[in-house]
Structure 1
């Protein structure tokens, strides 16, 4: 592994050696538009492309998933990891990309900051933006080595900024990538969480080879029940079905238990979650809304995160929500990428074992 360096020393070294060039403004490629169809059916693969070969997925598993119908893998990459790791991390990412590309998958390089850089955006936005642009300067040549129709650049996952600040940085990051990759598809999301409502109020990127990416975890009381990192309210919400309404027996029983415990925080959270019913109709409406926006703005839309945590959920309810979201996206011409391959939201128990695929989840995603 590499030794961590300070953010300013990494950036200063790149400026001194000419490895980083800040660019303002964006340039359209002049093409008729990138073909995003290769991203139709995908999954996120976090945790491998940062020098962690122990997280390398089994070759047989990748082949099985490709044969089942998956076409795309989104690779989350932390900008600070790229900068601190230098040539070692870049060569590792290149090997990962070649392996996945050889297996037949289209790829997205997803600039996906971890918590330290997210926090830096709140305390030193200029430095955080410089680091992200510098990471793209390093990563873009790897993107350029893969054909434009098979590899895409996602500028910044869930931009931790106000919209005005993000639009300025989005232009800068797009120009940084365009300087090296004039024809590759660009993917952008709206600040701060890439929700549907955030997206439809965000100006599109003026680049004919660009698509907007949305994330969908609605209702979060269902998709994140028993999450152990999101505060005490969600940790206490569990074993809830989909679809569901406020007066359903499982919801009433949980409300009564929370009352007995005196857990006002979890009770208030659940009441808020049921201001609208958890139904298929609600999901369909959300995707019709983003589908209509996509057509009006002539901007392709990708659903590159959605999923349900498996900590304490009924498997059939989980599969039902996933199938509903996936179908609603497809009906509106929206490509999708599930979060994630394995771990809490995953559909594979062990990325080293092709026999550990959850067939209920595969059927919800691929109808096989």
Structure 2
């Protein structure tokens, strides 16, 4: 029987780590307003805040180039990572379905604790639940995966946007007024709990206000996640990210086509966002639609463009710091929540920070994560939460200390 063991440093694909770090940075930018302000209530009741000054332009920049772009990259990379994990385990003669199921259960446990005890925006539990569906596709053809992914994305956009676009304008106006009334009624209580409540009361309040409503939407939220998982799985099975890939022409075509398609989508989104084009109550639905569509095309543009750039040693060296963060993505993702909850809830700064200030704080925290990841990985093979996850997956304590090479040991002996 083959010995179960995780993927170590020499087997890692640095390009994937860098792209993952890049995606984690974008996700942090998007998540930051939800850490420091009542963003949950804004989303839940589709409330529209009037932003001014730098906040207005920053919000526009995020809508055009960040929102729904990096979450899709992260989801794509999960599907790609699934293929790498399964194929390597299969080569070792391991029971791949059982091993990956343990991996998903471990992720589900971590994600559920994160979701319930710390923050409503957790994606790990959704990834874990959706990941079980990937087991149905591992042996399928690449074409089948792409077809299913496309169908799921079309279905998602039809479900999200089709109903509002087909509804009479009067009905939408009534719904909007009702949502605004509910928001105004509950926002003061929500902010007050975040600012003043003790931890137990805070968690209890969040359970009924945030967690249960989010859980009701679990299945719809899984559809776009599974779609991007399947695209990542297809890319892995096709060998697109192998170090000596034969698909450079394809990657270049993806970069070109995704850029060309993205331009009119982003321009149209900007016109709606800036209210140059205004069709009344349904304008916001079109903002959501074009944010979603551009999120998909820019996701593929960012991935393909970075993949090609990182074939050059100069760019790989320049962007390597993102790779350290990406290699410890789980630890950094969770620590972003821990740090932000400590600052904004623990220090009673919730609701006191503007979008611009929050973004500056985000940049400072992420820079510190780059440094932390760099120094941590000089001594350890995995991040602390990666170690915990791997230990659960393989059913035994994993060695976390970085093993010294024979060359290093001989040098020390000579000294």
TM-score, normalised by the number of residues in structure 1: 0.28
Higher RCO, Cα 8 Å, sep 6+: 2
- Between structure 1 and structure 2, the one with the greater Rg is 2
TM-score, normalised by the number of residues in structure 2: 0.26
The structure in which a higher percent of residues are strand is: 1
